[in-house]
Chain A
């Protein structure tokens, strides 16, 4: 059914906000965005009214769907510990679209997530980009092989006696060795004589996609030396990478800026312990001032809360000095750019996916509510729809 959305304020993220605006949606796509005045539409449109409209929010790094709500063996698929380097693990083979946390984050306006394997081993596996509709992974998937997750620092090492990598240096050495193998594999695959080509190797294939840039490495690095290691690796192997986490970003901001690589910054409310001890709630603002393309993330949580809500992480960044537009961009259009999806999601314009979020006030205020969500033109409920509304 076509939908007509009247928004008192529409943040299109493609120009100035529109007051008393109208968005028309048909067949899952946006067909019109502009002032409502003088714009007619046919009677078959379902009409939605909202105080504030934003593009559907994008979470640039999550584990939702792999880290189930219960935190029991059967619903935790974010880390396979049998070997330190397993880039062949695909997120789509584990993603559970019906985990309640998928619907939970959706109820706050999150319509697209880059989710998958968590930080915790050197190369833990791949991520996928998926819409949060929640029926099947195959129906919801946008990019089944988005990135490959690498962890440097504590998260990339193990403290199990006799196991590697036990140190930062060993971790980088192992990773370099694997990337060299992947380089050699790629060369052998081009052998003119087909019989001289190697057999398929899922691991080296996946690393090969990191080398050719089609599935970049998402490198989690919090300490400044780990960020520098990531940049050194990228230079050595001519990689296109995405930096993840970066608690120490303010210590090596110039180097990060010079690298040109985008950043999926740690959640603003991440706990300030261990490798993350130096993180600051102002780092998002500093990245913005430095002109570094960045997005925010919900990240990975091993305990409670089982997932963060990226809207809340952007809200606090805004509360601590990131301008409103930049904060909203970090979970919409800038996240879309970082994920290579700016032609489909992240802003409101004709032809784009009809992914919208509705709020009854400034989306960043603690006391505002998400009043509804649209994904590919389909309506989903906003927050506070769950069981505690029933009478007991």
Chain B
């Protein structure tokens, strides 16, 4: 009875019609709303339509038209969807062992949409994520900024720019991770900086040649995927997302960025508290990692819960990241909370998982706050975002619910259990599997 099946199919399609496709606006009422832009509303209304935020306001002032669908979320807390400015979910890779500078490689070409960690990130309230290649190269490849929409293939997650290309940054690193004992990798910090400078000078010349050609194909240089990418960084079209830990390495990053005039965001920034004024003076934002203890590698010896507080006090834009699998995407809010434990303001810490990270990725025009016109990326929490007892109950991306704690399968991803994990060995962001790390640690690896 094919027709009957069709009928059921059509009915299901209606039932599961995404809110974004509906004509009628939807209002979430009764919750405390933390819009990040502006003061929290104790009894707020969030109005969304067509995947965008239409209005945010106090229940007493927002008038709802008759056609509005009302969702009562009394007693809950609503805040913008979280933005993770540095993650390795999806297992995307970049450069290989052939050399230290590989800006031609793209996470785009290696991302596993079916990695369970995507749904775990949604369970943690993450709606936007910067997926980075590892830090074992000076320049390890192109990162991807993703919206964690429901997805079958990588294209479903991309954020297209005006020219149609997917939004992303360029991963750079300095310090010990990109130093190796054998060439062509650098063996010292001095060599690391020299190699990077050399490449950016080449990219400058490449851009100059293109400029001189004035569109004449005869005079154009041969396409070079790596120089093309570095050119985008030099032109400010792409932000260098820069892994760096030690205080002197951080200053080297600032020095090179100043020399070539490219835009950067500092990542990890373990020693950032030692040179907060210099970072502030450079006007460079920081995406910091919050770890349960210092150490594990020499450069992380002085990791401290107070880094966020010191940087905030100096006037630096401070975001947080999971570095998933170094920390778990489901516990992203915990990083903000531990920074508050270390003296950061609540407002600053909540900005650090939302607006500050939007700025770090250059996406602040579309996400990171609850404001009219922005994407309807938001989360519904059971309580205070900074409490251990709080659960992310729902995650919405562009007006569509992508995680619901009341759904058994989503609950499994949120809490763990059979089917929620990854049978492969642990990937700790930079060097392959954890077992190798254990072996390396035993053999005196200095990673």
Residues in chain A within 8 A of chain B (CB atoms): 68-73, 76, 79, 81, 100-101, 104-105, 120, 154, 159, 248, 250-251, 269, 271-274, 276-282, 301-309, 312, 315-316, 318-320, 364-369, 383-384, 386-389, 392
Cβ-defined partner of B416 (8 Å) among A278, A308, A384, A388: A278
Rounded to whole angstroms, the CA-CA distance of A79 and B437 in the bound complex is 13
Residues from chain B with Cβ under 8 Å of A308 in the complex = 292-293
Q: Which residues of A contact B215 (CB under 8 A)?
A: none
Q: Pick the contact of A386: B304, B334, B386 (CB < 8 A).
A: B304
Given contacts A72-B446, A303-B434, list 4 more A-B pairs with CB under 8 A: A304-B428, A369-B341, A384-B306, A389-B306
Instruction: Compute how far the CA of A248 lies from the CA of B416 in the bound complex, rounded to whole angstroms.
Output: 11
Contact A272 B442 (CB under 8 A): no
B295 touches A304 (CB 8 A): yes
Would you list the 4 A-B pairs with minimal beta carbon distance, nearest first?
A277-B421, A73-B444, A69-B295, A366-B337
B294 touches A100 (CB 8 A): yes
Does chain A have a CB within 8 A of B310? yes
**Nearest chain A CB to B321's CB is how many angstroms away?**
13
Residue of B nearest to A248 (CB): B418
Q: Is B252 an interface residue (CB 8 A)?
A: no
> Could you say which of A79, A277, A312, A387 contacts B442, with CB atoms under 8 Å apart?
A79
Complex formed: what's the CA distance from A81 to B443 in Å? 10
Contact residues on B (Cβ < 8 Å of other chain), bracket:
35 or more
Within 8 Å by CB of B294, from A104, A276, A277, A315, lies A104
**Cβ B416 vs Cβ A281 within 8 A:** yes
Segment from B55-63, B323-331, B368-376 that makes contact with A: B323-331
Partner of B293, one of A101, A277, A315, A319: A101
B16: shortest Cβ distance to chain A, in Å? 29
**Cβ contact within 8 Å between A303 and B388:** no
What are 30 A-B pairs at a CB distance below 8 A? A71-B297, A72-B444, A72-B446, A76-B441, A79-B442, A81-B442, A100-B295, A101-B294, A159-B435, A271-B426, A273-B422, A273-B434, A274-B422, A274-B426, A277-B423, A281-B415, A282-B415, A304-B296, A304-B303, A305-B295, A305-B296, A307-B295, A319-B387, A367-B386, A383-B305, A384-B305, A384-B306, A384-B342, A387-B304, A389-B306
Give bound CA distance, A315 to B274, whole Å: 30
Complex Cα gap A251–B343 (Å): 42
- B positions within 8 Å CB-CB of A: 273-275, 291-298, 300-307, 310, 325-326, 328, 331, 334, 337-338, 340-343, 386-390, 415-428, 434-435, 437-438, 441-447
Do A388 and B442 form a contact, CB below 8 Å, given A277-B421, A279-B421? no
> Interface SS of chain A: helix, strand, loop or mixed?
loop
Residues of chain A within 8 A (CB-CB) of B326 are 303-304
Q: How far is the CA of A320 from the CA of B438 in the complex (A)?
A: 30
With both beta carbons as reference points, the residue of chain A lying nearest to B411 in the complex is identified as A282
Cα distance, A384 to B310, chains bound together (Å): 13
Tell whether, in the assembled complex, residue A388 and residue B417 are in contact, meaning their CB atoms are under 8 Å apart.
no
Q: Is the CB of A269 within 8 A of B331?
A: yes
Q: Which residues of A contact B442 (CB under 8 A)?
A: 76, 79, 81
Q: Is the CB of B296 within 8 A of A306?
A: yes
CB distance from B235 to the nearest CB of A (A): 35
A271 touches B295 (CB 8 A): no
Contacts of A366 in B (CB 8 A): 334, 337-338, 340-341, 386-388
How far is it, in angstroms, between the C-alpha of A278 and the C-alpha of B423 when the chains are bound?
9
Determine which of A274, A282, A303, A388 lies in contact with B302 in the assembled complex, contact meaning CB atoms within 8 Å. Answer: A388
